[in-house]
Structure 1
């Protein structure tokens, strides 16, 4: 079968992300992406210049997808404490098991290494924690920083799930966040 002559960058970047998730970020090369996408390595070099630019473009594409998913979860959640839980459960996704989740953590390592990607993470955290805070009225007695506190609890419970993945990630996240709200004296309904 002949190689395709063109493929939109979005599809190429999805193939790059899939490769990075399946085999780790270090497995992304022009040769491996050529095999995965069907485009020639020289075509990929023309588009992305070098491996670092290719990896950055793929990870920025992943951030774009997470931003869109976040906006969808924010839009769908009622502005209640339970809505904040629902929002974070929706963002927890279905990693398909512990191995896929562990590979995802390698991607996070790459985000930490690059200042531009770190900035995307900072901005995303600010947007998410603000949306969480909006789910708590001032009368609810929530701490001023409830958004970041709850986002931090959520990220922690994802990590703890990784050590004992005996239930679905959604069930674990919901249970953990509801226990967190109860512990600080806030209703989750």
Structure 2
């Protein structure tokens, strides 16, 4: 009797996220995920029910990981500047995990993460409304830089933006 192959959801969802990053939603099917994980397509259907549910689960898992990474970065850089925080959070492939913000749960996760990062940046920039505005601008610049860096454009350096905002 053949042994049943078990792979944890975290590995399956990581494979889904990889496929999303490589080719978008069209690259994700039960067949492509099965090929990437070694699981049979019917096993994936049993676990997730539909391709859309599998993609959604992968995106929610990505937000969980990003939230945990952000919390750790905030703690690790408590006495450091905004650049240190953003560097500690690391690269964020926001396009892959936030490409469908029509889903209210995904939109809420994105908004909560942004608010968390902006609040942590504001604490590092000072107090008051100017710090909050600067944090919002720095967040936008950081995400814009990440977007264009993925397209091969170096753009500007974040430390230059921080200097202008402080």
TM-score range with shorter-chain normalisation? 0.7 to 0.9
**Aligned residue in 2 for 1:113:** 102
Query: CA offset at residue 162 of structure 1?
Result: 4.2
**Aligned residue in 1 for 2:137:** 149
Partner SS for 1:145? helix
**Aligned residue in 1 for 2:63:** 63
Q: Deviations over 1:5-40 (max 9, x none)?
A: 211111111121122222322111111111111111
Q: 1:88 to 1:50 in 2, by over 3 A?
A: same
**Aligned residue in 2 for 1:181:** 162
Partner SS for 1:57? helix
Q: Which has the higher contact order (CA 8 A, sep 6+)?
A: 1
What are the within-5 Å matches in structure 2 for residues 123-138 of structure 1?
A: 123-138=112-127
Asked if structure 2 preserves the Cα contact closer than 8 Å seen for 1:15 and 1:36, the reply is: yes
Q: 1:54 and 1:136 mapped to 2: Cα distance?
A: 40
Q: Deviations over 1:72-100 (max 9, x none)?
A: 211121434xx21111123342x8xxxxx
Q: 1:3 to 1:28 in 2, by over 3 A?
A: farther
Q: Residue 158 in 1 paired to residue 146 in 2?
A: yes
Which runs of 5 or more structure 2 residues have no equivalent in the other structure?
A: none
Q: Deviations over 1:108-167 (max 9, x none)?
A: 323x2322111110010011111111113339x94343322221121122234345535x
Which runs of 5 or more structure 1 residues have no equivalent in the other structure?
A: 96-100, 167-171
**Aligned residue in 2 for 1:91:** 89
Asked if structure 1 preserves the Cα contact closer than 8 Å seen for 2:118 and 2:135, the reply is: yes
Q: Deviations over 1:22-67 (max 9, x none)?
A: 2322111111111111111111111101011000001111111111
TM-score, structure 1 as length reference? 0.74
Asked if structure 2 preserves the Cα contact closer than 8 Å seen for 1:25 and 1:106, the reply is: no
Number of residues paired by the alignment? Answer: 165
Partner SS for 1:183? helix
Q: 2:116 and 2:33 mapped to 1: Cα distance?
A: 33
TM-score, structure 2 as length reference? 0.84
